[in-house]
Amino acid sequence: MSILKTVTVYQCDECQKVTTVKSNEEFKQFEAEWHSSINYDFCPPCQMKDTTQARIIEDNNNLAAIDGKFAEIENPLKKILPDSKCERCFDSGVWLTPRNKVEICPNLQLGLNHQSPNIASFLFSRAAHQLNEISVWVSPFCFELARILTQYSAENPCPHTALIDCFYADTNLTQDEKQRKLEGLFAELKEVWILPIGCRENEPKGYWIDVNQKEKT
């Protein structure tokens, strides 16, 4: 026997409408349109209803909690952003779900005590949301790098060595390979995310999201 085709059936927990997903393309479309998470599935119209909002937030929080458990084990971001208050978004106001969706930080959505995202975070969040809107897969590395840089500035650039450490400390890459990979991430932030990246070339070399550069253009 061989499996010719797999069909997954999803049912809306609000109106009981059913949809079938038969291919990757269909799954992508399903993911973009439906709320489908740990406890609940909601079809596009039901997602917008007042009656489903509490359950959607509950789902997002459960997902965040699972993600948070992983983060507790060892989150290298804690080292590079020691002053950030929110462990979910590192004060940037957004996070990337395991389903590659850019979403407002659940703690902000819940109205919990939260730092106001700064201007760099606003630029970052807008760029990330735009990528989601045009259905570009958001590279989690680029997302993290940009998010780190939102918390740094021209006066206090993020040290180059700290970034290499944060992303590649536990890899077997050579120093040159690490350097090339990091440069690749920066290129993507500039060319795909269109983010203004500030860089101090003289030692100690460092980076930040250059809010002023954006205003000039």
Q: Which residues of this chain interact with Zn ion, rule CB under 5 A?
A: 12, 14-15, 17, 43, 46, 86, 88-89, 105, 107
Between residues 71 and 192, which has the closer beta carbon with respect to Zn ion? 71
Q: Minimum distance between the CB of residue 107 and Zn ion, rounded to whole angstroms?
A: 4
Strands 102-104 and 94-96, by their bridges, are antiparallel
The sign of the CA dihedral 114, 116, 120, 126 is positive
> Tokens for 74?
């060892």
Between residues 14 and 144, which has the closer beta carbon with respect to Zn ion? 14
Q: Do 41 and 12 meet the contact criterion of CB atoms below 8 Å apart?
A: yes
CA–CA distance, 173 with 155 (Å, rounded to integer): 31
Q: Minimum distance between the CB of residue 69 and Zn ion, rounded to whole angstroms?
A: 17
CA dist list (Å): 22 to 66, 75, 121: 28, 36, 38
Q: Helix H segments across 44-199?
A: 44-47, 50-73, 76-80, 106-109, 119-133, 140-149, 160-168, 175-191
Between residues 40 and 186, which has the closer beta carbon with respect to Zn ion? 40
Q: Minimum distance between the CB of residue 2 and Zn ion, rounded to whole angstroms?
A: 35
CA–CA distance, 213 with 153 (Å, rounded to integer): 12
Between residues 43 and 195, which has the closer beta carbon with respect to Zn ion? 43
Q: Minimum distance between the CB of residue 183 and Zn ion, rounded to whole angstroms?
A: 29
Between residues 84 and 153, which has the closer beta carbon with respect to Zn ion? 84
Amino acid identity, position 202: N
Q: Minimum distance between the CB of residue 17 and Zn ion, rounded to whole angstroms?
A: 5
Between residues 14 and 210, which has the closer beta carbon with respect to Zn ion? 14
Strand, coil or helix: 173 = coil
Q: Minimum distance between the CB of residue 88 and Zn ion, rounded to whole angstroms?
A: 5
